[in-house]
Every structure is written in structure tokens, then in C-alpha cells.
Chains A and B, each alone.
Chain A
């Protein structure tokens, strides 16, 4: 049986260049929802909601209940941004500048689905020899959710949550995740984690088959 393509809704804040990082491929079909004043998307047709870096968390708060229902229906969410409003069920991102970025080191803690298979963790920790470039702040994590990655001070940086709702959430403390190879960049850690999560979503039984046109 061939794997079923994932049907994703990408929420766009109309930021320059954002769409370049999310190109449909054999794994995922993207539909772009551009935020407007009357933002109220229909989430039902999709398997996963993608909230990229630079998103509008005022708009997301407006559809908080709709996101909750979407997840309770067994669907998935990936939020690789700093959600300062409380629209993500069970978990809250907070900004924090009390720690020096030069001291930041990441550690994989609980990775039950192999999200870090083939991933060089140092690529998230360092860029051109500088540490602390990828994420900011930390996640106040839901009880029972997996802390996939924590930092030097055991602050949750990547969280996988299957307990707060009936669905699956992958959350980062604002660290971007995307398949940037389609915009010409290298297949680095943030690409592989993103792909590995999509594959996990794909392998779930509740993926809705897409009808070929």
C-alpha cells in the first residue's frame, strides 16, 4: 500500500518569502490560508495545521476553540514559533532572556517516534560557531507530554504532546522547522525533524486519503 499524502493547511501571515519554504511534494500537499481581518478558516479538510515562524498569534487566538476541536478529531499541529497567546492546548511558550545564548546546549530527552533520526543536534545548537541561534524562550509543558529536546537548564525546547488532546502536536520554542530544501537550502536538522514529524503524521491511521485530480 502506498503511503498517503498529507493534506496540510499552512497559515500565512503574508510575510515576505514565507511561502518559499513550504512547497508541496510527495509527502505533503499544502493549502495556504492567508490571514485577513475576518480570519476564520475551515480546518476540517486537513490532516495537519502548520504554524510557521513569524505567525500571527492574535489571529490564532481567535480560532482557539476551532484548533482544539481539530486536534480532538485526531488531527495534527506543528507550531514552530513563539505563541505568546494561549491558543495551543495545554502548553504555553514564554519568552525568557535570563540565560546567556553563549551557554545554550540542547539535549534530546524523549524521542519515541525517532524525530531525531538522521539529525545532527549540533546544527540546532550552533550556527557559524555561535550557540543559541535557533530557539528563544522555552515551553511551559503540559503534564505527561514528551519533552523531546531540553536546553542547558532543562527548559523544554521541543515538545511532542499526545495527551492534551486526542491529536498530535509538535511544538518548538520559536525554533523554525520547514523543508527549506525546496528553496535551495541544505538538508539540515530543521528539515529532517520537520520531515520526520510529517512521516509520523502520515503513518497514523487517521490520515484522510487525498483524491487525485
Chain B
């Protein structure tokens, strides 16, 4: 049963992840222009992936906070804007080769491993690279991950009724891209936290029948 709404704006990596056999019975693709009360009815959680259309999200801000008010979960990855999130995201150069050139200095140095997403993950599974940092988060938020400079990578708050979790990691996009092979660990933990459903163990596969004329849109 699809209980997680993945708000997407036609980007292929979002599509690849959400339509993979391992996840497609759990994640419901919601085209950002079709995001309305009817589209999110009955869902337990919403995911806003990296490379989202921030302008369109800001226009639908009330819907996202109404969803949270119902005690549900919203997961935001990558960039965001203060137009709809009470926080300030700032871009930084992406270092996705630290593990080759400087493996003892990962871009995340502090992680609260007691958070349900991170329980059982190794440090390498809990961080691959980051897309910027948060320089301001709400007073009521809790920091979950930080970089060696003390800047905020992941945070969450229960202030809006449900749980809002934001991170500058990009598990949905990178899992769709499939260039990092250990991301099943993070995304499976995330999926179970958001929906209560544990995806089938093992590596994500691709169904090429959903590309081209068979696209699930």
C-alpha cells in the first residue's frame, strides 16, 4: 500500500527510486502541480526530495503544514527555501570524493544514532555527501547531524503536530542515481520510519518496463 507521497517535479532520479520494484508499492509519486488535499489523503508521510521546485512548494506551504498538523511526517532533503520552511539553507561545494582523498574526514562528524532513521547504520551509511548546510533552524528543532565545523546537516521538530525532518543529505536522489551502492541501508531505514513498512531486503533493482511508453505517470 502506498503510504508515502513523494512530491516530484518530473526529475528522473526521483522517478527511478519511486518506481523501483522494491519501493513502488510504498511510495506514491505526486507531481508537484497536482499536490492537493486529495493527493495526500490517506498518506502517512510526505517526502520532498533534493532538486525540487521550491517555487511551487512555497505556493503549497499550507497543505504541507496541514498535513503535519494531522500528526504525520514530512521529510525534506537537499535544498529548501525560507519561503516555506522556517530555516535557512545555504549552498556549499559538494565533496563526494572525501572517501577517496581524505577518508578520515567525512562531511558529517556528529550523528544521533538513536534516531530511528540512523539506528543500526554505520557512519559511512549515515553520510555520503551533503548539499549545503542549515545556518538557522527553528528554536524548537533538535539537531540530528552536524559537520566538523559544527554546521547543521540534519534536524527535526515536532512543533507542527507531526514530525518535520530536514537534511542536506540527498538519499532519494542518490538512490535513484544508483552510483552509491550502500544507500539501500539509509533509504530502507527512512522508509520504515516514515511508513512503518520495511522494504524487501536487498539491493534496489530497476524495471525497464516503466521507462518510455510504460512510464508510470
Give residues in A with beta carbon < 8 Å to B: 13-17, 35-37, 54-61, 81-86, 92-98, 101, 127-130, 132-133, 136, 140, 174
Contacts and interface: CB of A to CB of B under 8 A. Distances in A.
B202 interface: no
A127 B213 contact: no
Contact of A86 (B13, B51, B205, B215): B215
A73 B212 CA distance: 24
A175 to B, nearest CB: 12
A33 B51 CA distance: 17
Interface stretch (B37-45, B53-61, B119-127, B161-169): B53-61
Nearest to B173: A54
A128 B15 CA distance: 28
B14 to A, nearest CB: 10
Interface of B: 9-13, 15-16, 31, 33, 51-56, 79, 91, 97, 100-101, 176-179, 204-206, 208, 210-213, 215, 217
Given A13-B9, A56-B10, A130 B211 contact: no
B208 A95 contact: yes
Contacts, number: 97
A58 B12 contact: no
Given A84-B16, A128-B101, A136-B179, A94 B79 contact: no
A84 B91 contact: no
A82 B12 contact: yes
Contact of B208 (A86, A94, A132): A94
Contact of A15 (B16, B51, B210): B51
Contact of B56 (A14, A17, A54, A58): A14
Contacts of A61: 215, 217
Given A14-B56, A16-B91, A84-B16, A96 B9 contact: no
Contact of A14 (B55, B208, B210): B55
Nearest to A128: B97
Contacts of A136: 177-179
Interface of A is mostly: loop
B54 A95 contact: no
Contacts of B55: 14
By Cβ-Cβ distance, the 4 closest A-B pairs, closest first, are: A56-B10, A82-B12, A128-B97, A58-B10
A86 B214 CA distance: 9
B11 A13 contact: yes
Nearest to B98: A128
Nearest to A136: B177
Contacts of B212: 84-86, 92, 94, 140
Nearest to B55: A14
A122 to B, nearest CB: 16
Contacts of A57: 10-12, 15
